[in-house]
Amino acid sequence: MKIELSATPPFSFTSVVNSHGWARLAPFKTIEGEDDLAYIFRLGNQQVVKLDMEETPNGVSIAIQEEVSVDGVKEIKTAVAWMLALNENFQEFYNLTKSESKLGRVEEKAQGRLLRSPTLFEDTVKTILTTNTSWSGTIRMTESLVTQFGDPLPGRTEQFSFPDPGKIASSNEDTLRNETRLGYRAPYILDLARQVDAGKLNLEALKNSDMSGDQLHKQLTSIKGVGNYAAANLMMLLGHYEYLTIDSWALKMVSQEFFNGDPIRPDDVEGVFEPWGKWKGLAYWLWDWSEE
């Protein structure tokens, strides 16, 4: 079965896949040298299917080997449209970039869309797993969580969907800390899964919330394990670009670019990108930090 979805132009599948490291985190999978992206997806009826996605002239094509119901097809369409931000329009941002050489090729490359998971639960878990660790550590922890608690793709027992919150919620801190090897993040992931599974926290509702940016940010930082950096990352994935993901790397790069290498504070980073208004997080994200 093949499904085709259109995207708001301009669109570049490659730019979305390479927008950040999510494509390297299970259950996403890429093959070096090939312009496609696979994802092991669990439908609402618990059926597990593999989505093989590639670019078409107007958007994206999704190949599925398994038989899927009409409702399942609708669910897949909705999920992929969200994952690839197919309906987002960045023209306002592109217009602003025309006068900035460090963002000169953003529109040409159709950059702006950030690859995201089908659910905000998955994105929140993955974001927590990026904190205070190396990127290889994030990859390992995500793979371990998916393999241990995810549902297998029929006939391919080495491929698993991202765990349902209930699967993680039924575990315990000791298992997550020592077997899954999530370290200090274990209680945060467990609490998040239990909150979502019990219906006490409706993360999916935040995708289309009419909350202000400040309210949404406050909601995200109320989640255990989600600090300002993690919340800013999640805000970007939700299509809110008014917050900056400021870490030690950001301080170093902004210092070199704008302050002659002198020590700076997060407020200095905010000040540099404040003129970009609601797009400042995206301007920072896509800035060309290479030396002239």
Q: What is the pLDDT of residues 139-163, one digit of tens each?
A: 999 999 999 999 999 988 789 999 9
Tens digits of per-residue pLDDT, 103-142?
Answer: 999 999 999 999 999 999 999 999 999 999 999 999 999 9
Where do the structural domains in the chain lie, given as residue ranges? 2-88, 120-237, 248-286
Tens digits of per-residue pLDDT, 70-108?
Answer: 999 999 999 999 999 999 999 999 999 999 999 999 999
- Residue 31 predicted with pLDDT over 80: no
| pLDDT score at 214 | 93
Phi, psi at 40, each rounded to 5°: -90, 115
183 φ/ψ sector (left φ>0, alpha ψ -120 to 50, else beta): left
Is the pTM above the cut of 0.75?
yes
> In the predicted model, what is the mean pLDDT of the chain?
95
- Residue 32 predicted with pLDDT over 80: no
Q: For residues 4 and 56, what is the distance between their CA atoms, to the nearest angstrom?
A: 8
Are 283 and 254 within 8 A, CB to CB? no
- Just give the CATH number of 2-88: 3.30.310
pLDDT band, very low/low/confident/very high, at 33 (cuts 50, 70, 90): low
Q: For residues 272 and 51, what is the distance between their CA atoms, to the nearest angstrom?
A: 41
Same topology, domains 2-88 and 120-237? Answer is no
Are 52 and 13 within 8 A, CB to CB? no
Domain 120-237 has CATH 1.10.340.30: yes
Are 23 and 16 within 8 A, CB to CB? no
- Coil, helix or strand at residue 260: coil
